[in-house]
Amino acid sequence: MTDKKQISEELKDVDMSIFDDDDDAMEDDINQVDDHLANVHLQTPERPSFQPKFFFTLPSDIYIRYNSFANIDIMKKEIERLQPIKIDIGAVYSVKPKDKKTVNEKVFKPLEKELVFDIDMTDYDEIRTCCSGGDICHKCWEFMTIAIKVIDVSLREDFGFKHLLWVYSGRRGVHCWVSDERARKLDNESRKAIVGFLEIIKGGAEMSRKVKLPHILHPSLTRSLEIVKPYFGSLVLDTQGVLDTPDEWNKVLDFINDTGKNKNNNNTWYHK
């Protein structure tokens, strides 16, 4: 069994490195650490003897559900044989998922699952100017890097989690898998509560209407603000150019719930 401290240090080394690189190197970096991440994740301390459920998607939309494997070598051989285009990891069940059809449905119950967070680049569409929708580039990917740093610190310091695995989602964002035993055994309400604590502003359409921050910030928000501040000038103002045109700066002014200030700022910026 791999030592807890060793795993924590390994994950700490991996957390940010694959997200701070340029566009051309990003995919290569992810491929290089893929085997390392898989082994570290499967060796998380205190994991139960039951295997998690694996869901394979094959070409032509062929689905193979409720796969489970005794060890990583067997899993690798099956992946090489089937060559799935997508792999989803599910919960750990009371019975091996591959034996699901041999037991009563009432016996086959989920016991635990990692606490998973999904950050999608489309949540930043109202403040990124370089891309939109499913498109991403090195310029807007920096928003992902900042989000990772903010959430990683909160999960470790506010909730005391240690075993965090950050991975590229394969499309337009990142996933964080929290593998601590108490995280894996959280019920749905507890998971929603943690998400609610982290979710200060919901992204997406009409995001400006959702901004309602108190005058005195919670210590966790103050800490997050200190993480974000160094990026504001270089990323938001220079790279994204959110104040370069009237259309862009009016989006920013919409976040300020003061019509008078908005009008004055708009007139001042327009005549500069």
Per residue in 202-218, pLDDT (tens digit) is 655 555 555 666 778 88
| Options 3.40.50.720, 3.30.450.20, 3.90.920.10, 3.30.160.70; CATH of 4-239 | 3.90.920.10
Residue 261 has pLDDT above 90, yes or no: no
- At 211 the pLDDT is 61
- At 220 the pLDDT is 92
- 15 CB-contact burial (10 Å; exposed 0-12 / middle 13-18 / buried 19+): middle
- At 212 the pLDDT is 66
Residue 81 has pLDDT above 50, yes or no: yes
User: What average pLDDT is seen over the chain?
Assistant: 78
Q: What is the pTM of this model?
A: 0.71
Collapsed DSSP state (helix, strand, coil) of residue 64: strand
Residue 68 has pLDDT above 60, yes or no: yes
Average pLDDT of span 94-116:
89
CA–CA distance, 190 with 176 (Å, rounded to integer) = 17
CA–CA distance, 103 with 224 (Å, rounded to integer) = 48
Span 1-22, pLDDT tens digits: 444 444 344 334 433 333 344 4
- At 143 the pLDDT is 94
- At 16 the pLDDT is 38
Mean pLDDT check: name the lowest of 125-129, 170-174, 221-225, 266-270. Answer: 266-270
Task: Say if residues 180 and 210 touch (Cβ distance below 8 Å).
Answer: no
Query: What is the enclosing helix (H) or strand (E) of 58?
Result: strand 52-58
Identity of the highest mean pLDDT range in 12-16, 37-41, 167-171:
167-171
- At 70 the pLDDT is 85
Structure confidence at residue 63 as a pLDDT band (50, 70, 90): very high
Residue 35 has pLDDT above 90, yes or no: no
C-alpha torsion 41→45→50→55, nearest 10: -20
Q: Tokens in use for 186? A: 């959280």
Average pLDDT of span 154-178:
93
Residue ranges of domains in the chain: 4-239
